Amino acid sequence: LQTWNIKTLHLDIEPHTLPDYKKNKEKYHRQYLELVDEANIFCKKNNLQLNLSIPLGLPEDVLQKIAELNVTTTLMAYENPSMDAVKRRSQEEVQFGQTKTIIALRATDYQKSADMEKDLQLLKDWIPSHRIVIHDYNTYKQISSNEKR
């Protein structure tokens, strides 16, 4: 880790994509939190920051446990029709994470980069951390290059 000067470990674990997730939410949430605890201990031992990608809609008890770890979370605010919907659906996550919460928008959800940039600015002004990210750069670059500016 020191050789590469790594500063952050980012976990993008998405149990909500598993076929039996809806039937086994509690089991998956428990396993997820165990893994996050393990990663957090590893990060502390190795002087690393921990960042988690999380979907919108995790249960309050899971959000509370993540908040207690004081780690940065990146909300995957994908497939949402409007920024009002993103704000409404992410209120709990933002409340628990405050300045440790980042919102990610997915470039494939947009046809024009200008529309995405407008939404990114709205969210940046709204979220307490004022931090937003784009998933993924190659798609963003592609929709940007298709436009005349």
The string of pLDDT tens digits covering residues 77-118 is 998 878 999 999 999 999 999 999 999 999 999 999 999 999
Per-residue b or e along 15-36, where b marks 16 or more CB atoms closer than 10 Å to that residue's CB: bbeeeeeeeeeeebbeebeeeb
The string of pLDDT tens digits covering residues 24-51 is 999 999 999 999 999 999 999 999 999 9
Nearest to 105 by CA among 128, 125, 124, 129: 124
Provide CB contacts within 8 A for 92, sequence distance 6+.
Answer: 60, 63
With a cut of 60, say whether residue 149 has pLDDT above it. Answer: no
**The pLDDT of residue 98:** 92
Indicate if the alpha-carbon torsion angle 106, 18, 15, 13 is positive or negative.
Answer: negative
With a cut of 80, say whether residue 148 has pLDDT above it. Answer: no
For residue 113, the one-letter residue type is S
